[in-house]
Chains A and B, each alone.
Chain A
């Protein structure tokens, strides 16, 4: 289902999750104390941490099993930790102690705040190219985000942008479908609201739903970031050190967002599982969310398809982050373990068709052209977005499950639910961003750079 945020569904199972996390922490602690590398019978030990739950978790487990079967010389231990803050806290502390796993998953936009060079070790690009993976096989923009000071610390696996889900039955009745049953192109905010009105006329209920409130509510930030980036706006400067939020552009986006709920076109108060439930009920024409819920709606046999978020404000960009592989810092990383980690990353990229089933757009370009990927419906419908993804500017407080997302998500949530005016929200957002900018990077700046 969803790996991309704290899910209230998970939150409700916090008790169980906490027990599981405690158990795995104990297990990891035990594993972490041992010197890295050699497992039983001289096999190379490869520990891999990730944060994928739900459908992604199942896909990842299948991939991991397949890798283990093909590589009998590598003893692979995959550990799934709870998504979000718990994962990053553990990974950071393991890296700081030099007792980290050999390879792990990291959201690319969090790289800047994750102490590259201190908590993370760089990849050996020569070794990767021997394994058939080169920089030219990735979208340039995304691959570049994995590099800091000329060293490659993260190898992107995918990108997971905001997309538009649409109910094909409702949209057909509302006359919104064109040739081949696809959504007719929408190219302005006006056309979008017209489409919403047409759909509402057919069903009598608000035509679009997205998470607007709830614990650690992030979607309002995603919506803002998507539309704001379409105007060409940036929240932070390219080095992530200055506030560059453009008041006029931001106000236009926030007014538009507020208008969606005030005009009754968007469900005003709904939390994350609620928004999934509303769209799943089949009367709502559109759903704005990341692409990772595709398996949820497929499993529910909902008549739906997906497309890129239309360019409502000029450029066709969409807010996104990327899953990437990193090498957490280890004291005395062994040659065999490094070799195994590189082999694992290369193999995962080359088999990312199976990963794409969960909705993510593979970052490895050969996979994007793989017929097996093109056959995936509706997962391949929005693949072209990979050239137009808008990642956060590199700052320690940015990226998935970061301070910035959670804090601004809460502020912009108020715009959608009506508890804040757009101008109040903009003021508050800027205040919070300034505070984050004033706070020194807690993981990065701290003493003794090892790079």
Chain B
């Protein structure tokens, strides 16, 4: 900001108004910087803003997937969506997944960060191995995990358990009691690396002298963790929580690959229902309406979290 010619040139000669004129023109040109952001902005407008707006338009129409026919139906699609039990059940699946996955994802990330922060040998190995799965695309994770837990009874996981004399006979993905848990398990393994990384960075930025002072006062390891580390991580925890909840609400890929939403729709997230309404059912208008209801929910969650984290920031 401060190194642009516009801000440095006029400073030494503030009195010479006429000479400053061409500078003023240049200042406007660069200050708005429209030219510089144009490539990004155009892409953004074309692929994010426009679809957002046209999606709202579609949700008010009875369009089919071919984009022809259809008529303006006002809020009929929304009214139908609110009465559709599939919307509610799949929305609940999404929320249930978010609850189930957020807690272990945050806690495991923290524990792993603490471990690798304190382990003094081959640190790079812990960091690499805990972060590596995050670099893989969801498709790869889904397939890998399928091969770990599938087929039941003679998949990799079951063989490993059999080693310890355990034969749980769990239908990892075929039993509605376990299918969602299996997906959570895969997701935790996949994405915990990101939370781990955020926590690790935060841990490294806690000033060492706090610990030294506490140690002089005779604080043990538990008290140092309880009264220094965790309070100092509060802001990071806020960020991790926000990001995690938003990421978990967007669940789709793993479920689509691993269970297809089954058994008996017990793992079908709302986004998959949107997909099914639009691409299997050809009702793009209705699918848009459902997705905007979900969008509203995400906006509300984000606003609540923003408010909460702001308050936290003020009091800290």
Q: Chain A residues with Cβ under 8 A from B173's Cβ?
A: 214, 271
| Interface of chain B, main secondary structure | loop
Per-position 1/0 for A210-247, Cβ under 8 A of B: 00011111000000000000000000000000000000
Q: Chain B residues with Cβ under 8 A from A447's Cβ?
A: 68-71
Query: Which B265-308 residues sit within 8 Å CB-CB of chain A?
Result: 265, 279-283
- Spell out A's residues near B (CB within 8 Å): 6, 8, 11-15, 18, 85, 89, 92-93, 95-97, 119, 213-217, 269-271, 273-274, 277, 397, 401, 403, 406, 410-411, 413-414, 417, 419-420, 431, 435, 439-440, 442-443, 445-448
- Contact B66–A410 (Cβ < 8 Å): no
Q: Chain A residues with Cβ under 8 A from B10's Cβ?
A: none
Q: Least Cβ distance of B252 to chain A in Å?
A: 12
Q: Least Cβ distance of A381 to chain B in Å?
A: 30
Tell me how many residues of B have a C-beta within 8 Å of chain A.
38
Provide the bound-state CA to CA distance between A8 and B258, in Å. 9
- Contact B70–A216 (Cβ < 8 Å): no
> Which 4 pairs from chain A and chain B are nearest by CB?
A446-B69, A215-B260, A96-B66, A15-B139
- Contact A11–B260 (Cβ < 8 Å): yes
Interface residue? B151 (CB, 8 A): yes
Q: Least Cβ distance of A12 to chain B in Å?
A: 6
Q: Least Cβ distance of A266 to chain B in Å?
A: 15
Provide the bound-state CA to CA distance between A201 and B174, in Å. 27
Interface centre among B67, B69, B176 (most CB of A within 10 A): B69
Query: Please, could you name 21 A-B residue pairs with CB atoms under 8 Å apart, sorted by A?
Result: A13-B143, A85-B280, A89-B279, A89-B282, A93-B65, A93-B66, A96-B66, A214-B262, A214-B263, A215-B260, A215-B262, A217-B262, A269-B171, A270-B174, A274-B174, A419-B264, A439-B281, A439-B283, A442-B283, A443-B65, A445-B69
Q: Chain B residues with Cβ under 8 A from A213's Cβ?
A: 171, 174-175, 262-264
A12-B257, A414-B264 known; A269+B175 contact, CB < 8 A: yes
Name A92's closest neighbour in chain B (CB-CB): B66
Q: Chain A residues with Cβ under 8 A from B263's Cβ?
A: 213-214, 217, 410, 413-414, 417, 419
How many A-B contacts are there with CB distance less than 8 Å? 116
Q: Chain A residues with Cβ under 8 A from B176's Cβ?
A: 419
Name B257's closest neighbour in chain A (CB-CB): A14
Provide the bound-state CA to CA distance between A96 and B63, in Å. 13
Provide the bound-state CA to CA distance between A96 and B66, in Å. 6
Q: Chain A residues with Cβ under 8 A from B140's Cβ?
A: 15
Interface residue? B195 (CB, 8 A): no
Interface residue? B62 (CB, 8 A): yes
Per-position 1/0 for B230-266, Cβ under 8 A of A: 0000000000000000000000000011011111110
Interface centre among B64, B68, B176, B256 (most CB of A within 10 A): B64
Provide the bound-state CA to CA distance between A388 and B256, in Å. 36
Per-position 1/0 for B15-33, Cβ under 8 A of A: 0000000000000000000
Q: Least Cβ distance of B176 to chain A in Å?
A: 6
Provide the bound-state CA to CA distance between A435 and B277, in Å. 13
Q: Chain B residues with Cβ under 8 A from A97's Cβ?
A: 66
- Contact B283–A12 (Cβ < 8 Å): no
Q: Least Cβ distance of B136 to chain A in Å?
A: 11
Provide the bound-state CA to CA distance between A443 and B66, in Å. 8
Q: Chain B residues with Cβ under 8 A from A401's Cβ?
A: 280
A96-B68, A410-B264, A443-B66 known; A274+B282 contact, CB < 8 A: no
Interface centre among B137, B279, B281 (most CB of A within 10 A): B281
Q: Chain A residues with Cβ under 8 A from B65's Cβ?
A: 89, 92-93, 442-443
A92-B282, A213-B262 known; A15+B69 contact, CB < 8 A: no
Q: Chain B residues with Cβ under 8 A from A93's Cβ?
A: 65-66
**Residue from A119, A214, A411 within 8 A of B260 (CB atoms):** A214
Q: Least Cβ distance of B74 to chain A in Å?
A: 16
A214-B174, A403-B280 known; A11+B62 contact, CB < 8 A: no
- Contact B151–A277 (Cβ < 8 Å): yes
Per-position 1/0 for B138-182, Cβ under 8 A of A: 011011001000011000000000000000000101111000000
Q: Least Cβ distance of B152 to chain A in Å?
A: 8
Q: Chain A residues with Cβ under 8 A from B262's Cβ?
A: 213-217, 410, 413
Name B171's closest neighbour in chain A (CB-CB): A269
- Contact B283–A274 (Cβ < 8 Å): no
Q: Chain B residues with Cβ under 8 A from A18's Cβ?
A: 139
Q: Chain B residues with Cβ under 8 A from A410's Cβ?
A: 262-265
- Contact A443–B143 (Cβ < 8 Å): no
Provide the bound-state CA to CA distance between A270 and B153, in Å. 11
A217-B262, A420-B264, A442-B281 known; A15+B143 contact, CB < 8 A: yes
A85-B279, A92-B282, A93-B66 known; A11+B265 contact, CB < 8 A: no
Per-position 1/0 for B183-209, Cβ under 8 A of A: 000000000000000000000000000
Name B153's closest neighbour in chain A (CB-CB): A274
Q: Chain B residues with Cβ under 8 A from A414's Cβ?
A: 263-264
Name A412's closest neighbour in chain B (CB-CB): B264
Q: Chain A residues with Cβ under 8 A from B66's Cβ?
A: 92-93, 95-97, 119, 443, 446
Interface centre among B143, B174, B256, B265 (most CB of A within 10 A): B174
**Residue from B67, B69, B264, B283 within 8 A of A448 (CB atoms):** B69
- Contact A274–B151 (Cβ < 8 Å): yes
- Contact B280–A406 (Cβ < 8 Å): yes
**Residue from A92, A95, A446 within 8 A of B70 (CB atoms):** A446
In the complex, besides A411-B264, A431-B85, 6 extra interface pairs with C-beta distance below 8 angstroms are A14-B143, A270-B174, A397-B281, A406-B280, A414-B263, A442-B283
A215-B261, A414-B264, A419-B176 known; A446+B68 contact, CB < 8 A: yes
- Contact B171–A443 (Cβ < 8 Å): no
Q: Chain A residues with Cβ under 8 A from B265's Cβ?
A: 410
**Residue from A215, A419, A439 within 8 A of B259 (CB atoms):** A215
Q: Least Cβ distance of A424 to chain B in Å?
A: 11
